[in-house]
C-alpha cells in the first residue's frame, strides 16, 4: 500500500544482492512509449489491463529481469493475477509490508508537505483504488508480513530478519 | 483468513471484558430460520448479500450486541462494506491476524486429520472465496496486525500487547 515502506524494504534487498524490479518503472517505461496524448498513468494502466489482462504489468516487469539475475524481487505487486505470472520464473515468495493507514497517511503528508483533511480523503481514495485492483488478496496470501508500525530502526531490524529467513 | 488464529484472539478479548460477537454465529442463526431446503450456508450468505447488500452480516451481528455492552468486538469481518456498517456504533478499530498460507493449511489439516494435496486445493479455493468477498481490503486497512507465524506463546504475547494498546 502507498506509504507502507516497501521501497525501503526493496533497498535492503538490493544491498543483499537481489535484482529489484520496480513494477511501477516497468509500467512507466511502456507508458512513455505508448500512452495516448494527455492520458494519465493510472488510466493507461487500466487500459492495458483491459486489453492484455490483469497480469500485464507483471509480464512487462519480467521482461526487465537481466538474464544473469539469480535473486529477483518485484516491487509493487497489485494482485494475485500478477503473482500467477511470476510463477513462470519459479515459486514466488510474497512479502507484504504493513503500516496502519493513519501512519501511512501522516508519512505521505509530510513527504508532500500537506496537511489538510481534503488530502486524507484523496489518500483514502487512492487506497481504495489499490484495493480494487486486488492488493488485499496479495497481503492476505503473503508468506511474510513485515510490520512497519514503529521506528525506522525497528522496521529495518524486522526486514533484516525476514530477508535472512528467505535466504536460508 | 481461515486458520489464522482469530478465534484464539477473540478468546483473549473475552477474557479482557470484551463482548465478542461471532459474525459466523449471527449468520448461522438467520440461516437456521430462513434457509431454503438443502441450501448451504455459503449459498445462503451469498443470497442474502445479493438481496440486502454486502453489509448485511454486519447488520445482523450488530443486532446481537447486548445493550449493556461497553467493549464490543466482531469476529469474522469479511469486507470493508461490513466495516462501514460498524461505523454506526463508533469508529471501529480493525485488527487482522495474519499467518502464512502454508502454516494455516497445515493447522487446518491437522485439525481435520487430513493430509492429502486434494485438501490443500480445497483450502486454497476457500481462501480465494474469502478474498473475493473482500477480506484482503480489510487486512490492508487494518489498524493492527498480529502475526501468528511462530509459537502459540509468542502469538499470545503479541496479542496481549495489541489488546493493551487498544485499551490504552
A124, A21, A136: which is closest to A79 by C-alpha? A136
Q: Which residue of B has its CA nearest to A150?
A: B144
Say how far residue B84 (Cα) sits from the centre of its chain. Answer: 15
The gap between the terminal CA atoms of chain B, to the nearest Å, is: 27
Report yes or no: B139 at the A interface, CB cutoff 8 Å: yes
pLDDT score, position A119: 86
Residue among A130, A131, A147 minimizing CB distance to B145? A147
The answer, yes or no, to whether residue A64 has pLDDT greater than 90, is yes
Cell representation of residue A164: 535472512
Q: Is the ipTM of this complex over 0.85?
A: yes
Question: Which of B128, B139, B149 is closest, CB to CB, to A139?
Answer: B139
Check if the beta carbon of residue B86 is closer than 8 Å to that of residue B141: no
Cell numbers 499467518 label which residue? B99
For residue B130, give the chain A residue with the closest CA: A137
Q: What mean pLDDT is reported for chain B?
A: 94
- pTM score, two decimals? 0.93
* Range scoring the smallest mean pLDDT among A37-46, B15-24, B112-121: B112-121
Contact A135 B140 (CB under 8 A): yes
Which residue has cell 524481487? A73
What cell was used for A33? 512509449
Q: At what angle do helices B41-52 and B23-34 cross, to 10 degrees?
A: 90
pLDDT range class, residue A9, cuts 50, 70, 90: very high
What are the DSSP calls for chain B, one per residue? -TTSSHHHHHHHHHHTT-EEEEHHHHHHHHHHHHPPTT--HHHHHHHHHHHH-TTHHHHHHHTTS-TT-SSEEEE----HHHHHHHGGGS----EEEE--HHHHHHHHHHHHT---HHHHHHHHHHHHHHHHHTHHHHHHT-SEEEE-SS-HHHHHHHHHHHHHHHH-
Give the pLDDT of residue A118: 64
Query: How many CB pairs lie under 8 A apart between chains A and B?
Result: 68
Exposure string for A105-126, b = 16+ CB within 10 A, e = fewer: bbbbbeeeeeeeeeebeebeee
Check if the beta carbon of residue A77 is closer than 8 Å to that of residue A138.
yes
Strands A144-147 and A95-98: parallel
Residue boundaries of the structural domains of chain B: 6-167
B115 pLDDT above the threshold of 60 = no
Given this model, what pLDDT does residue A109 score? Answer: 87
CA distance A83 to chain B (A): 13
**What percent of chain A has pLDDT above 90?**
91
Give the least confident one: A38-52, B34-48, B114-128: B114-128
CA distance A131 to chain B (A): 6
pLDDT at residue A110, rounded to an integer: 85
Compare CB distances from B141 to A127, A137, A144 and report the shortest one's residue: A127
Above pLDDT 70, what percent of chain B? 96
Residue B116 has pLDDT above 90, yes or no: no
List, as ranges, residues 55-114 from A with C-beta within 8 Å of B.
80, 98, 100-102
The pair phi, psi for residue A73, each rounded to 5°, is: -125, 140
pLDDT in tens, A107-157: 998 887 655 566 889 999 999 999 999 999 999 999 999 999 999 999 999
Domain B6-167 falls under CATH 3.40.1380.20: no
User: Average pLDDT of A38-54?
Assistant: 96
Write out chain B residues lying below 8 Å of A102, CB-based.
143
Q: Given the C-alpha cell 470484551, which residue does it identify?
A: B18
pLDDT at site A113: 63
Contacts of B101 in chain A (CB under 8 A): 141, 143
Interchain contact B143–A (C-beta under 8 A): yes
Amino acid at each position: 500500500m502507498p506509504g507502507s515502506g516497501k521501497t525501503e524494504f526493496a533497498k535492503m534487498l538490493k544491498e543483499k544482492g537481489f535484482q529489484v524490479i520496480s513494477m511501477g518503472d516497468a509500467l512507466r517505461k511502456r507508458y512513455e512509449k505508448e500512452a495516448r496524448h494527455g492520458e494519465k498513468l493510472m488510466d493507461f494502466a487500466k487500459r492495458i489491463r483491459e486489453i492484455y489482462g490483469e497480469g500485464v504489468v507483471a509480464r512487462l516487469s519480467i521482461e526487465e529481469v537481466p538474464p544473469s539475475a539469480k535473486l529477483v524481487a518485484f516491487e509493487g505487486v497489485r494482485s494475485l493475477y500478477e503473482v500467477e505470472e511470476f510463477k513462470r520464473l519459479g515459486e514466488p515468495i510474497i512479502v507484504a509490508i504493513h503500516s496502519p493507514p493513519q501512519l501511512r497517511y501522516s508519512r505521505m503528508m509530510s513527504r508532500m508537505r500537506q496537511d489538510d483533511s481534503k488530502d486524507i480523503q484523496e489518500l483514502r481514495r487512492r487506497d481504495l483504488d489499490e484495493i480494487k485492483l486486488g492488493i488485499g488478496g496479495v497481503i492476505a496470501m503473503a508468506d511474510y508480513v513485515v510490520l512497519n508500525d514503529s521506528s525506522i530502526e525497528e522496521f529495518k531490524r524486522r526486514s533484516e530478519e525476514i530477508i535472512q529467513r528467505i535466504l536460508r
